[in-house]
Structure 1
Amino acid sequence: MDFRGRTSDLELLNGQLRQITLGQGGTQGRAVIVTGRRRVGKSRLVQEFCDRSGAPYVVFQATRGRNPVAERAEFAATLAQSGLPGREAVAGLQSSDWNQSLRTLALAVPDDVPSIAVIDEVPWLVEQDSEFEGALQTVWDRHLATKPVLLLLVGSDMSVMEALQSYGRPFFGRAAKMTVRPLHLADVARMTGLGAAGAVDALLVTGGFPEVVQAWEPGMSRNDFLRAAVANPLSPLLMAGELSLLAEFPDASHSRAVLEVVGSGERTFTAIANGAGGASPLASGTLSPILNTLLEKRVLATDSPLSTKPDTKNKRYRVADPYLRFWLAFLQRGIPLIERGRGDVALRRIEASWTSWRGRAVEPVIRESLLRLLPNDRWPHTEAIGGWWNRQNNPEIDLVGADRDPVARQIHFLGSVKWLETQPFGRREYDALARELTAVPGADHDTPLVAVSRCGVDANLPLAAHWGPEDLLAAWQD
C-alpha cells in the first residue's frame, strides 16, 4: 500500500537524523519518544522513515504479555537479522536482563555512520519488566548516547509514554517528544480527491486514521463510501474502532461503558454516571478515576467555557478523535445488522442523524483550524479558541476568540457555526448571536461577531469575519 501524507512528520524525523549527521547537539546520539493513539499510523510512519533514510536500522516490535526471557531472545534475534553493520558480531549472544540486551544493541550500531534503532510498543516492555526503564537509562548514558544513533521509542499508551520522560523517572530529560496525530484535513483532501466541504465530512467519518482513509477511493462521495463500508463486515471503517478499543478496554470494563456513553452524546459528569451505571448511577469515586484514565490516554478530551470568568465546574467531556466519535455513535450498534447483511438499515440510521451529529462533531475541527489561521492582522493577539455555555446550555456560544485560556484576559470575538448542506448563515442566526453575546463574561455589545458556515453567509450581515470549508482546508495546507 502506498504511503501518502505525513510530510511534516517525516521532516521532523529527518531533522533529528540530520542533526546526528552534522554532529549537532550535546551528545552524538539522539532519542525521541514517539507516541500517539493506537492505529494512528506510528509504526508505518517510522518504518517509512527508516526505509527512506538510507541509514542502517533495526526495528524491534514488542509483544504484549510475552515472557521477558522470550522477549529478550526475540530482541537478540531481531538484531542479528537487522541491517546494522555489527549484527554478525552480536549474533548468538545471550542476555540475562535488559541491561545486557541493550548493551548488545550498542555493540551492533556503528561508530562512524548514523544509524536508527526503533523499539516499538515500549509500554509493553515496561509492563513486562520493571527494570527496563532503568536499563534503558544506563545503557543510553554509557553506550548509546556516545554513538551517532537515532533511538526511536514508540508506544500507543500515551500515559505510559509521557511518564517515561517525567521528572523522577530514569529516562527523564534524555529524549525529545513527538506526537503522531491522525492525518489532517489537507492530507484527507488529497487522498480522497474531495473538495473542502467533502473533505471535512471525510475527516469526521475516518478521523484521519490512515488505514480508513486509504479505503476511500478518490472522488467517492461520503454516502457511497459509507454504503460500500457497511456492505462489508471486514471493512477498515468498521474494524479499526473495535480493534482499537479491544486493545485497551475489554468489553465488560467500566471504562468501555463510560466511553460508549460519552460516544452516544452524553457530556456532563452526572449524565455519564447515569448512563454508564446501568440500574443505578456510577458512584463518583468509581467514575472519576475512569474519566481521569481516559483523559490521560487521550481517548477523551474536556472542554470548559472560555471567558474572563473561571468556571471549573461546568466541564464537558467528548471523545477525542472524530473517527472513534463516529464509530461509537453509529457503527458499534450497527455491526450486528451489517454482519447479517442489513447494512442498508445501518446506513439509513446514519443518514437520519448525520446532519445533527455533524453539527456538533465539526466544532472541534473548526476550532483547531481557526487556531492555525489566527493570530492574524485582524486579531494579532488571539491565541485561544473555545466555546461558552452555562449549566442550562442556554445560551451556548459556538466560538469564543480570546487572548488565552482557560481564563481569558480579553474576549476578541464571539461566533456561531452553521454547517448545513444548503442553508447559509443568515439574519436569524446573526440576531440570535447578537442577543446572547452579553451573557458571556468579558463580552459586550461592541464585541465583534463572526461566523463559520458550510455554504456561505447572507449578504449585508455586519460580521467582523466569516470562514467556510475552503478557509479551514487552507489552514492545513503547506
Structure 2
Amino acid sequence: MLLLLVGSDVSVMESLQSSGRPFFGWATKNTVQPLNLADVLAGEPFLLGEFPAASQSRAVLETVGSGERTFSAIAAQAGGGGALPAGILSPLLTTLQDKRVLTADLPLSVKPDSKNRRYRIADPYLRFWLAFLQRAIPLIERGRGDVALERIERSWSTWRGRAIEPLIRESLLRLLPNGEWPETEAIDGWWNRQNNPEIDLIGADREPVARQVQFVGSVKWLGNQPFGRHDYDALVRDMLAVPGAAPDTARVVVSPCGVVEGLPLTACWGPEDLVRAWQSR
C-alpha cells in the first residue's frame, strides 16, 4: 500500500515522521517549493500541447481571450480574412466546451433565450494569459517589460471587473439559499442581443429558464468608490427589461467599497462574504 500525505503546515508534516510517531522510519519527505519564473510560463506550453498555433481552435480561443463573446464576433475575428462559417465554428465551440477550456453562459430569466450565448475562457489564469501575457512576450523579449506592464495596468480595472463576475456568482451560490431567499438555486446574469442593458446578477429558483426572478443586482468592482445613487438609478432603470423582474423585485449589490447610505437595497455583499462562502462550515 502506498499512502500519500499532503499538507501545507510544514512543521506538522515533519512531526509525523519524528521518533515515536507511526510514520517514523517509513515515510519519505518531498518538499514542494513555490512556483518559480519558469513554472509560471504555463500558458504557452499548455496551448501548444492542446491547440497548435496554426489551428482554428487556437484562433477561436485567442479571439475569446481578447474579449469577443458573441458567436458572430468570434466568427468575424477568428476567421482572419473572412468570417468562419457557422458549420465550422459551431463544432469548434462545442469541442472547446467539451475540453472545459471554454464556457458558454445564457441569460437567466423566465423567458428562454438559448441562442443568446456569451462565451468566455473557463480558467482564470488562461483568461489572463490570453488577454495580456501572450501579447506581451515580444515586448519582454526586447527588454520592454515596462511597456507590457503599462498596458496591463491601463486595462486592468476594466478586465478585472468582468473577470470577477463568474467567481462572484459562484460564491453567492455557496451562500444561498438562505433564510431570506430559501428558493434561490440559480445565479447568473442577463443581457439582450445588444448588451444594452446588461444585468450582472440574477437570482432565480432554477436555470436556464426560471419560474421566478427573486433578485436583480449589480457588481461594482471598479476603482475605489462605493456603489452610489447613479449606479442604483441605472440598476432600477435596466432591471425592468429582464423578463420576470418587476418594480418591487429585490435589488442587491456586490461591492468591495460598500454602498452609500440611504439606498433601498435588500443586500450588499463584500469581499469578506465572498471569502466566507468558500470556507468550511
TM-score by length of 2: 0.87
Q: Which residue is 2:262 aligned to? A: 460
Go from structure 1 to structure 2 and tell me whether the alpha carbon gap of 1:4 and 1:467 turns closer, same or farther (over 3 Å shift): farther
Retained in 2: the 8 A contact 1:401–1:411? Answer: yes
Inter-partner Cα distance in structure 2 for 1:450 and 1:399: 8
Show the 5 A alignment for 1:134-145.
Answer: none
| Structure 1 stretches of at least 4 aligned residues deviating more than 4 Å after TM superposition | 2-5
Q: Which runs of 5+ in 2 are unaligned?
A: 9-22, 24-31
Q: Which runs of 5+ in 1 are unaligned?
A: 6-53, 55-209, 217-233
Q: Which residue is 2:100 aligned to? A: 298
Q: Which residue is 1:377 aligned to? A: 179
Q: Which residue is 1:393 aligned to? A: 195
Identity %: 69
Q: For residue 139 of structure 2, what is the amino acid of its counterpart?
A: L
Show the 5 A alignment for 1:186-335.
Answer: 214-215=34-35, 234-237=37-40, 239-335=41-137
Inter-partner Cα distance in structure 2 for 1:386 and 1:322: 17
State the shift of 1:421 in Å: 3.4
Retained in 2: the 8 A contact 1:307–1:411? Answer: yes
State the shift of 1:451 in Å: 0.2
Indicate the SS of the match to 1:376. coil
Inter-partner Cα distance in structure 2 for 1:3 and 1:342: 40
Retained in 2: the 8 A contact 1:420–1:455? Answer: no
Q: Which residue is 2:19 aligned to? A: none
Aligned residues: 255
Indicate the SS of the match to 2:211. coil
State the shift of 1:460 in Å: 1.4
2:166 is the alignment partner of 1:344: no
Q: For residue 393 of structure 1, what is the amino acid of its counterpart?
A: N
Retained in 2: the 8 A contact 1:421–1:454? Answer: no
Inter-partner Cα distance in structure 2 for 1:278 and 1:420: 33
Give the greater-gyration-radius structure (CA).
1
TM-score by length of 1: 0.52
Inter-partner Cα distance in structure 2 for 1:255 and 1:236: 25
Q: For residue 70 of structure 2, what is the amino acid of its counterpart?
A: T
Q: Superposition RMSD on alpha carbons, in Å?
A: 1.9
Go from structure 1 to structure 2 and tell me whether the alpha carbon gap of 1:4 and 1:434 turns closer, same or farther (over 3 Å shift): farther
Retained in 2: the 8 A contact 1:417–1:452? Answer: yes
Q: Which residue is 2:15 aligned to? A: none
Inter-partner Cα distance in structure 2 for 1:286 and 1:275: 14
Go from structure 1 to structure 2 and tell me whether the alpha carbon gap of 1:368 and 1:338 turns closer, same or farther (over 3 Å shift): same
Indicate the SS of the match to 2:218. strand
Inter-partner Cα distance in structure 2 for 1:433 and 1:322: 27
Give a deviation string over 1:58-107, Cα, whole Å, max 9, x none: xxxxxxxxxxxxxxxxxxxxxxxxxxxxxxxxxxxxxxxxxxxxxxxxxx
Go from structure 1 to structure 2 and tell me whether the alpha carbon gap of 1:235 and 1:459 turns closer, same or farther (over 3 Å shift): farther
